[in-house]
Amino acid sequence: MTAPSEAALPQVDGEDLLAGPRRLLARLDRLLSGRWWLLIVVGLALAISILAAAPSYEGFHPHNKDWSAVEHWIDHPFSQRGLDPTDRAYNFTFRATLPLVGGLLGLPPVGFLVLQGLAGVGLFAASAAVVERVTGSRRLAALVTIAVGLTWAGACAFIELRANFDAVAIALLVAAMATRRVPLVTLCCFAACWTDERAIPAVAFVVLFHHVTTSRSVRWTSALTNPASLAAVAGVVLHVITRVIATIHYDLHQPSNLGVHYLSDQLSIIPVGMWTGLEGFWVVVAIATVLLWRIRERLQALAYVAVLVISILAAASVVDVTRSMAYLLPAAFTAIAVVARFGDRRTLRLSTYAGFVATAVWPMYYVGGAFTIYWHYPLPLEIFRKLAGVG
């Protein structure tokens, strides 16, 4: 019996494989051609995010220790009296933005979830605006924004039921990238740092982003005279000053969940936890780092990598690894800005496509410790689970 000839074997043309994605991209371009393109992108990102990781509000308990801690802050701002350092309310001492706003508005826990959801929508809008501005492409803006919604950083606004307001802090950081108005950059960075201290190192990505996108010279010294970059630094400086004033005035002690023992116990989880911070955007981050090195801006490349490494190690030094890794998201927009300015158009397009595909095909999960990974069910599976009564 003879083997079939090569001519008899079915042939698959590479162009045929790409025909489907190209048609989808063409339809996306037509969809985004109108004046309401930004609203369409936000709607797509929101719908796909919820489809990929469905909110499960059956786990919402408005009287648990998390929400009691928020209530304690509202009733006793900047007070640690009677609190043990292990108390949840103790950790809220310097996370004042949302308790302050919610207290002024008289919001119940559900109201905070609404604010958090609005922050998620704002994050999508800011993400699309940032990418469209630096790349000049609505298509890439849409793909990046949808990919953001498929990461924990983008989805936590809708699936996080604890009193953790990371969605607000991350949205403020990206908003600081989306605007060039100096007062707004400072205000956004200041408010993000007061929302959660995890935002403080992430401001470095905001600084580099504005330097790359608005400085005439790429030399690092030009960042020292860039108004938007300095405005981001000013936000951190104002946070530190007001934090010191509050510490002295109210006799406060700095809470800390960081621990070397956590880092040593969770070393094996770092690669998995790192992925949850940026997912497919790691492709763009890697290319941006290489580009900075090749144009001989090695100090900036090293600084960029150093902030990434510090953030990763800090995230691995707490139990909620993914929650801390999510603050790497601004690094993705900085990377896109670097590739857009110093790479060619094809590199920008292909790296964005690769990042989008890698994020889209990988299920969303949450790393909560050395041996714990939670998969967030997509909407169809969540519906089936509830109909079947599966816990």
- Report the alpha-carbon distance of residue 224 to residue 56 in Å, rounded: 46
**CA-based end-to-end distance of the chain:** 56
Which pLDDT score is estimated for 100? 94
Beta bridge partners of 367: 373
Which pLDDT score is estimated for 6? 52
Which pLDDT score is estimated for 291? 95
Which pLDDT score is estimated for 17? 65
User: Which of 143, 280, 387, 352 has its CA nearest to residue 377?
Assistant: 387
Amino acid at 342: F
Count Cβ atoms within 10 A of the Cβ of residue 372 and give its class: 0-12 exposed, 13-18 middle, 19 or more buried: exposed
Which pLDDT score is estimated for 2? 53
pTM of the model: 0.92
- Report the alpha-carbon distance of residue 347 to residue 261 in Å, rounded: 41
Mean pLDDT per 10-residue run, the chain (391 residues)?
A: 55 64 88 94 96 85 88 90 82 91 93 96 98 96 97 94 93 97 97 96 96 82 86 97 94 73 75 92 96 90 93 87 95 97 94 96 86 86 81 61
- Report the alpha-carbon distance of residue 284 to residue 350 in Å, rounded: 9
SS3 267: helix
- Report the alpha-carbon distance of residue 299 to residue 238 in Å, rounded: 26
* Other Cβ atoms within 10 Å of 40 Cβ, number: 17
Q: Using an 8 Å Cβ cutoff, are 148 and 129 in contact?
A: no
Q: Which two tokens stand for residue 33?
A: 């051609």
Structure-token match 């599976």, residue found = 381
Beta bridge partners of 375: 365
Return the domain boundaries, the chain.
37-388
Q: Using an 8 Å Cβ cutoff, are 353 and 28 in contact?
A: no
Count Cβ atoms within 10 A of the Cβ of residue 84 and give its class: 0-12 exposed, 13-18 middle, 19 or more buried: exposed
Which pLDDT score is estimated for 66? 86
